[in-house]
Each structure stands twice: as C-alpha cells, then as structure tokens.
Chain A
Amino acid sequence: MTRSLDRTELGLILALPILICLAFILPKWIVNYVQVSMGTGLVALGVMIQMRAGLVSFGQGLYFCVGGYAAGMAAKFMGISDLFVLLAFGIIAALVLSTVLGFLLRKYREIFFAMLSLAVSMILFGLLSSTEELGSTDGFNLPTATYLGWAPAGETARLTLYTITCVVVIGCAIGLNRFLKGPIGYINEAIRENELRVEYLGTSAHKAVHITYVLAAVVSSVGGVLWALALGHIDPEMTNWTTSGQFVFVSILSGIGNISAPLIGTFILEVVRIYAVELSPNTWQMILGTVMLLTIIFLPKGLWSVVATKKKPEQEKLAATTPAAGE
C-alpha cells in the first residue's frame, strides 16, 4: 500500500473536490441524482470486480438490500441515526452473510454462479416482502443522519450527507483499484482466463473468489446504506432480481476496464432514465434493452473501451499482436 498513486487514483482524488463543489453550483435535483447514483454505483462496482474473475452476479441486489436494511433496522429498533454507526452495521451484516454464503458460492462458476446468487437474493426478497414488522413490500423510512452527535438540519444536512457520500465512494473506488492491481486482482483475471491452470500453478482459486465475493458484498452494502440515507426510504425491491439486473447492465455498458467506469456509467444511466421516463414512460425498458444489445454487439468491452483505446493505441496494438499462451 505504499506504492505511488496511479492515473486512475489521481483522477479520482482530483474528482473529489470537484464533486463536492458541484453541490454548491448545480441545481438541487441534479446533485440528488449524483448522490443516489453514487450509492448504486458502488453496487455496480461490486458486480464489476466479480466480473473480473468471470463471475456474473445476478443477485448483487442482495447486499445492496442487506446494507440498506441493516442500517434501517438499526435506526428503527435501536434509534441509531449516526451515519458512521449505520455504515458499520451495514458492513458487518454484509461481511458475516457473504463470508458464510461464500463457502457455498465459491464452488460455482458461470451460469450456476449467476443462478445461485439470484436464488439467494430472491430468498431475502421473499423474506422481506412477507415480514409485516418491516413494512413488507412497502418498506419503511429512515431518519435523517447524524454525525458523531452532531445533528445538522435542512440544507446543511443535505450537503453534509452529500460530501460524506462523495468521500466514502471515492475512498471505496481507490481501495478497489488497489485490490484489482494487487495479487488477488491478477489471480482473478487468471481465473477468468483458465481456472484449472491457476490451480496447477499452486494458487487457490476458491480462496481468491471467496475474498472477491466478500469484498464485493461489503462495497455493495456501503452503497446500500448511503443510498438508503440519501432517499430516506428502503423497500424489498432493492433485492429483487430486476434491480440486480440493472447493476449487471451498468457493468456491461460501462465495461470492466477501469474502476471509475461503473460509477460514471451509473450516473449516465440515471440521467438517461430521467429523460426517457419523462418522454415515453412505456418504452424506457425497450431503450435500455436496445442499448444493452448494441453495446454487447459493437462494444464488447463496454463504453470505457472507447476512452481507453483512444488514450493508448500503441499498447493496445502490442497486446493484440502478442498471442496469449495456449490459444
């Protein structure tokens, strides 16, 4: 962790003050969307780091929901409204659940991983939808966040929450970038290419997948807590498979090339959604599906590949001419 910052991290750190300043310049509703999409963007990040290992989680909404509900229940039943304590509740809940489930899920690959993660997230959906104490399908409201005893109100509260969201999200992104550039990040890419060879080389693919799974879960739960506090409301839709599908959609659309791609992708999607829903509410999903198909056909590595190839054409060319071993 003593390495100097790479370009992505530098960019993220530079983006932080700009993001925070935006809150004072842009109209309130845009800032709101930025804040909300940072929450869901973290979940897309969780999907993306698993995609690096070739695993498509069709149930990442599970941890998004676990984070939101852990914070919500702590607020509802224990009267806690401190953001940092709520975040801790979300993280611990996701950590415990994902560590346990990881022992099961790490054995699965490809479609089976997608199906089982979907099944697990739907278990929670079924459970929450039928729990009267938690408002069943309507969910319940969260209080306004406080910060270590300081309880701002009105405009100050909004800006404080926004600023802290920015800091946490950028922090998570940098941490994940380090993770992807670290040993396990590279093992994950090797697993995607050929898992059997990874095992032959003497590394445990199961362990790497497990760690990635837990990390993705924790990041998603942080996203869930921040999203819940930004909206002030949670409901079981957070863990429905259609929600999880949108996280996968964002990761496909933006690509897995760079850590900031899913964050930007989520925001773009959120903006497109606002206008699409406004213009023609009944064709919104059709637009989404068409864009997804076109992305898969024409930009298999996502929108980020457009940015990336323009930046370093020589490196790309070099990579293209060097045949991968075993092909």
Chain B
Amino acid sequence: MFNKTLTLAAAGLAAALVVAGCATAPSSAELDQQALAMLKASFRDQGIAKVDRLNQDLGQKACSSDKPPAEALAKQIEAESLASIKWPEGGRYLGDWREGEKLPQNGRGMTWTDASADPKANGANCYNCHEIDKKEISYGTIGPSLWNYGKLRGVKDVADPASAAIVQYTWGKLWNSKAYAACSNMPRFGHMKLLNEEQLRHVMALLLDPKSPVNQ
C-alpha cells in the first residue's frame, strides 16, 4: 500500500517534470533554428532580390550575432577570403580618379527597386560610410575617414615597388574586405560582383593616385 502510494507519487512527479520540461523556454540552439525558419517564411522574391539572398555563407553566418566568432573560425574566414581575391589583369590596379569620384557618390544598386544586378548599374556607396574628399561634407561615419588615403600611406608614385604592398592591400580590401577582418561591415565589392574590375580601378585611383583630390 505504502509502496503503491509512493510509486504513484513518483509517477505523478515524473509527469509533472515532463510537463514542466515542455513548458521551459527553448534552448539557444532551438531559437537559432526557429529564427531561420521564421526568416524563410517571412520573405519573398521581389524583382532582382530573391529569397536565396538569405542563404548565408560561412562568414555571414559566423558574424550574425552580438558576439564575434571564435578566433580559429575568424582566421579561417580571413584565409578563405584572401584566397578568393581576384587580382587585376596584367597588374593594372589604377584607373581614372575623375571616374572614381562619381562612383562613391552613387549609393544605388542591388535593391528590389533596381532593375538590374549588373555592376554597371551600381554605385560604390562609399560616402554612405566614409569621409573621402573633404569637399564633400555629406559623409557617413560607419567606416574610417579616407581623406589623404594614399598620401598618409606614403604613396608618391603608384608604380614604385615601395608602393606595391599598399596598392595590393587596397585592391584586396575592396575586392573582399573579409580577407583582413572576418566580420568587417564593408561589402565585398569584387567578390559579390557589386563592382567590376574597371570600376574598382577607378575607385583605387581616387584613393591612391597622388593627383587625386583625396591626396592633396
């Protein structure tokens, strides 16, 4: 009799625990899964902006929380990004800074109201986040100032071998910013086909050409 009561009580307690278990908050991993399902269910295609834009690559996924990724993972993202950089054909890094001035002013491209995803339809968006030429006072502050970018880095002649390292770094940064900082806020202009090589060369010239207004 006593035993039976005890058994019943134990069963009751177990049942209560199970119910309580069901009612406890979902784990962090479960919430991650639920958030992904919610995103997939909430968005639809519109124009050039298709739902496949929600499919994250390694870096996007690793940089999607309020905490940075583990160091080993960050290093892996940076190494893979560096390896993915396409260097300019024939080592032609610089174009025309006059053309390069137009692209940073232009913040258009890649939204669902843009007709084409061709890089030719895109601006470089630079002034949204960076100061570049002091004459332009309407600039954002998410990225560092690029005023005197080449001058401050000692670029007097872009063809001089002494300038090679900074010229190559700048191309790499524009092509795939994640090569140098896994969770950089900056878009990967070459890697994601936001700008073509010619456009990148013009932006390069604006930043590095000693004759560019940026370096006066």
A and B: bona fide binding partners = no
List the interface of chain B (C-beta within 8 A of A).
none
List the interface of chain A (C-beta within 8 A of B).
none
